[in-house]
Amino acid sequence: MRETAVVEVVPAERGDTRLEALLGEAVAELLRRYPDGSAEEYHLAPGTRFLLGLLDGEAAGCIAQSDADPVEFTGGVDMKRVFVREGARGHGVARRMVAAFEDLARERGARRVRLETGTKQPEAVALYTALGYERIEPFGQWADSPLCLCFGKEL
């Protein structure tokens, strides 16, 4: 990690050009890893909240928080679209975004977090495991996918 790197996490809204660019890059990376096109089918629900990770003042990453189905996941939120640009990786941006995400979830009354990632994203799996997330039963539209891995954490 660079000693001079400054990482900040700030709220963002759809329409923010920095956020839209990062979301586009996240989908493009998923399509490279999963060329079957399934990443394009994924849509973020209305009411999803976003955070931007800034590295030395420049947009470097994003994360989304969506309310989970209250029947399926009482008291929980879904973590979506965790992404850090390749050139900004290794500077703690993802860790800071996840910490801010968890703080926001607690402030909004959530008691747990769940997320989906894939078998072709070993960096994500390593991050979530290092941050205390544990494997849970698959859920959502990819519950039957052999490429899907699900994780959860009590807040």
What are the 10-residue block averages of pLDDT along the chain, 155 residues in total?
81 96 94 79 80 98 90 88 96 98 95 95 97 94 89 97
Q: What is the pLDDT of residue 8?
A: 98
In this prediction, residue 74 carries a pLDDT of: 87
Q: What is the DSSP letter of 91?
A: S
Give the long-range contacts of residues 20-23, CB within 8 A, separation 24 or more. Answer: 21/59, 22/52, 22/59, 22/61, 22/62, 22/83, 22/85, 23/62, 23/81, 23/83
3-state helix, strand, coil in the chain (%, to 5): 35, 30, 35
Residue 5's pLDDT is: 87
Tell me what pLDDT residue 46 has: 83
**Three-state secondary structure call for residue 13:** coil
Q: Catalogue all structural domains in the chain, each as residue range(s) with its CATH number.
A: 7-111 (3.40.630.30)
Q: What is the pTM (predicted TM-score) of this model?
A: 0.92
What is residue 44's predicted lDDT score, i.e. its pLDDT? 79
Q: Which residues pair with 78 in a beta bridge?
A: 66, 114
Residue 3's pLDDT is 62
- What does the pLDDT read at residue 140? 84
